[in-house]
Each structure stands twice: as structure tokens, then as C-alpha cells.
Amino acid sequence: MSESLPAAPKPGIRRAVVTGAAGFIGSHLARALLQSGTTVIGVDRRDPNDPAAAPNLAALHGFASYMHIGADLLTCAIDPLLFDADVVFHLAGVPGVQPSWGPQFSEYVSSNILATQRVMDAVTRMRVPQLVVASSSSVYGRTSGGPSVESDHPHPSSPYAVTKLAEEHLCLAYAARADSPTNVVALRYFTVYGPRQRPDMFIHRALRSAMTGQPLRLYGDGHQRRDFTYIDDVVRATIAAAAAPEATGVVNVGGGANASLIDVINTANSLVGRDIQVHVDTARNGDVLTTRADSRRARAALGWQPTVDLPNGMRAQMQALAQPGHRAAA
Ligand code: NAD
């Protein structure tokens, strides 16, 4: 029997731009890229000393191949940031359903749509070969409860979701131009959680309540279900998307745990060993009953499947929250 040839090493990413690098997902992504030897240019408009940014950026300290640019993508010169980049991971954006109903909507439009158009213009001009953009499961809106497939007709049910769908379409429209050198992959993230999760998100709020004894406000009856997706799984899918072939298009990144908000509360109770005091409030506009990802395309196009279940993922998040000095544990 002839000896098989060793597998050719996969070419890594030499140089990447991560927008939203001072955010929850962007900082984890940037760190993973740096750990694998990629040079990373991180861009974010937040003041690095802002309490929402500092712990995220602290995860990037000590990497000589990290360069941070404090800039707003709505106004800054983007071309120089893209020089020689193999890929742009465009994660900068304004997230969250509830504030998007009010006067803050203009911020959603500015960052998620107008800034994205400037990024796509620059990426096309600078001939960046690949762009991965963070979209959202929220674009599906109200579903029958079954898994959402990428080809399903989207019914965004909040202003936030409308901007994410527009963002996705905008990036794909640029990629479809005859003169476009850029392949675009839009990842529809499903409720991402793990260490440094945004404080407005449910798992963060539930763990904080369990750990501090402060009551937890629950909107609706708690039977809303989500595909909770652990941050390390999301980062793996995002890096895999940098090598996804042309015409991959839109891909769901969700799974690991389909659970209700009540399941989250019970898991937090048992991890911390104390029952959360729950204050029930009315359901909020735009909060859908169920999100669930059909992951077949992610498996086929990215070779990806989720690996972390809810108790293990929430345990890791709880341990991070318990670290001395964690801003949100107080
Ligand atoms: P985050 O708020 O922690 O990070 C977003 C970062 O983008 C922030 O640091 C912010 O300062 C930066 N930013 C916003 N507008 C900018 C601009 N105009 N110029 C420069 N920087 C700007 O949010 P996150 O949870 O890490 O989400 C990252 C992306 O993933 C967002 O696009 C969000 O819509 C998307 N997403 C997140 C989730 C989730 O569960 N967290 C789910 C679906 C989609």
C-alpha cells in the first residue's frame, strides 16, 4: 500500500481588518486571528477607555501584530486601512432590537447601512478579495417555529432587523457588480453568548442576577426560544467564512443550544446555586417567539457545526463575570 501524501497546509490569513474590534464578537474574533498568526487592523469608533470597550480591547493587549484604529466608519478614510488586506470582517454595527424603535433609529441607519456602504465602496476600490459581514437571525422575523433556511423569505419585525437585512443586501449588491473583485459572505448570527457578552443581552442579565441577587426583568412568559450560539463557535464559523467560495452568499451561524428563556434562568440558578428573583413584564415589540437555525449550508460551505452546549457555555460566561474587576458583575 502506497503511503498517502501529507495534506497540504491550509493557507492562513496574512492580514485582516476587523471592524467593530472593540465590541463583544469583534474582540473575540480579532484575538483568535492574532493567535493564529494573522496581522489584524482593528477599527472601532468607541473610546478605548469607555467601560464597554476597555475589557474587550484588553483581550488584544500584548499582540505586536495588532493595530487599533479609533475611527468612525461613517466619516473616516477607509482606503488606507484596507491596504494589502486578504479579508475584511465587517462586524461594526449598532445591535439590539429595543432601542431601534425610538429616536436612536438614525444611529442604526448610520452605522448598519450608511457606514456599510462606505466600507463596500472602499473594499471594491481597494480590490479586497473577501468580505465577511455580520448579519442577524432577526432578519427572519416571526417564524412557524421550525428551522429557518437561508432561502426563506425574510420578514424583519423590528427596525434593527430591517437595517441588518438592508446591510446584507447592500454588501451582496456590491459583490454582484461586474467589476467587483470582492466575494461577500453574510453570516446570520443567532443570539451569541459567552465571556464579555453585551450587558443588555439575556444570558448576561440572568447570570448577573443570579450572582448578585438583583431581580431579573423577564419580558413575556419566558417560553421564547433561541438558538443560543457560543462565541468560540461563532468565531470559528467567521474565520471559516474567510475561505468560503464565491456564491456562498448568506449562511446561518446558529446552534449548540435551542433553549427557552426559562431554561436559561434554570441553568443560571443551578450554576450559581441561588434562585433568581424574576419580575415578569409584558412582551416587547419586535421580540420574536422562536429563532432556530437550519445549519446545513454552514456545514456544507464552511465545514462548521456548533460544539458548545448551554450549561458549558454559560459556565464559562459565569466564570468570566466572576473575575475581579469585571465591569458588569457589579
Ligand atoms: P457590540 O456593540 O459589542 O460591537 C459592535 C461594535 O461596533 C462596537 O464596539 C461599536 O463601537 C462599533 N461600531 C458601531 N458603529 C460603528 C461605526 N460607525 N464605526 C466604527 N465602529 C462602529 O456588538 P456585538 O454583539 O459584538 O455585535 C457585532 C455585530 O454582530 C453587529 O453587527 C451585530 O448586529 C451582529 N450580531 C450580533 C449578534 C449577537 O448576538 N451579539 C447577533 C446577530 C448579529
Strand, coil or helix: 319: helix
> Is residue 168 a contact partner of residue 250, using CB atoms and an 8 Å limit?
yes
| Ligand 1 pocket mutation, candidates 43, 45, 187, criterion most atoms within 8 A of CB | 45
Q: What's the rounded mean pLDDT across residues 167-179?
A: 97
Q: Is the pLDDT of residue 9 over 50?
A: no
Decide whether any atom of ligand 1 lies within 6 Å of the 243 Cβ: no
| Nearest residue to 143 via CA among 161, 125, 117 | 161
Q: What's the rounded mean pLDDT across residues 241-258?
A: 94
Q: Is the pLDDT of residue 25 over 80?
A: yes
Q: What's the rounded mean pLDDT across residues 63-77?
A: 98
Under the banding of pLDDT at 50, 70 and 90, the label for residue 7 is: very low
With vertex at residue 102, the alpha carbon angle to CA 96 and CA 108, rounded to the nearest 5 degrees, is 50
Question: What's the rounded Cα separation, in Å, for the pair 133 and 108?
Answer: 16
Decide whether any atom of ligand 1 lies within 6 Å of the 59 Cβ: no
Decide whether any atom of ligand 1 lies within 6 Å of the 55 Cβ: no
- Expressed in percent and rounded to 5, the helix, strand and coil fractions of the chain are 35, 20, 45
> Is residue 34 a contact partner of residue 68, using CB atoms and an 8 Å limit?
no
Q: What's the rounded mean pLDDT across residues 169-185?
A: 97
pLDDT at 208: 97
Under the banding of pLDDT at 50, 70 and 90, the label for residue 11 is: low
Decide whether any atom of ligand 1 lies within 6 Å of the 45 Cβ: yes
Under the banding of pLDDT at 50, 70 and 90, the label for residue 179 is: very high
Among protein residues, the one whose CA lies closest to atom 30 of ligand 1: 134
Q: Is the pLDDT of residue 92 over 90?
A: yes
Q: Is the pLDDT of residue 329 over 70?
A: no
The domains located in the chain, with CATH, are 15-193+230-254+292-306 (3.40.50.720)
- The distance in angstroms from the start CA to the end CA of the chain is 64
The average confidence (pLDDT) of the chain is 94
Q: At what angle do helices 261-272 and 310-321 cross, to 10 degrees?
A: 60
Kindly give the number of the ligand 1 atom that is closest to the alpha carbon of 90.
Answer: 32
Over residues 293-305, the pLDDT tens digits come to 999 999 999 999 9
**Catalytic position from the list 66, 108, 140, 160:** 160
Under the banding of pLDDT at 50, 70 and 90, the label for residue 135 is: very high
Over residues 275-293, the pLDDT tens digits come to 999 999 999 999 999 999 9
Q: What's the rounded mean pLDDT across residues 139-150?
A: 95
Decide whether any atom of ligand 1 lies within 6 Å of the 192 Cβ: yes
Does residue 160 carry a catalytic annotation?
A: yes
Kindly give the number of the ligand 1 atom that is closest to the alpha carbon of 167.
Answer: 32
pLDDT at 94: 98
Q: What's the rounded mean pLDDT across residues 136-160?
A: 96
| Ligand 1 pocket mutation, candidates 120, 189, 191, criterion most atoms within 8 A of CB | 189
- Length of the chain counted residue by residue: 330
pLDDT > 70 fraction of the chain, expressed in percent and rounded: 95
Decide whether any atom of ligand 1 lies within 6 Å of the 94 Cβ: yes
Task: Compute the distance from residue 222 Cα to the ligand 1 centre, in Å.
Answer: 26
Q: What's the rounded mean pLDDT across residues 3-32?
A: 82
pLDDT at 325: 62
pTM value is: 0.96
- For residue 251, give Cα distances in angstroms to 20, 114, 241, 304: 20, 23, 9, 11
Under the banding of pLDDT at 50, 70 and 90, the label for residue 326 is: low
Decide whether any atom of ligand 1 lies within 6 Å of the 25 Cβ: yes
Over residues 191-246, the pLDDT tens digits come to 999 999 999 999 999 999 999 999 999 999 999 999 999 999 999 999 999 999 98
Q: Is the pLDDT of residue 1 over 90?
A: no
pLDDT at 8: 42
Under the banding of pLDDT at 50, 70 and 90, the label for residue 188 is: very high
> Is residue 271 a contact partner of residue 318, using CB atoms and an 8 Å limit?
yes
Q: Is the pLDDT of residue 168 over 60?
A: yes
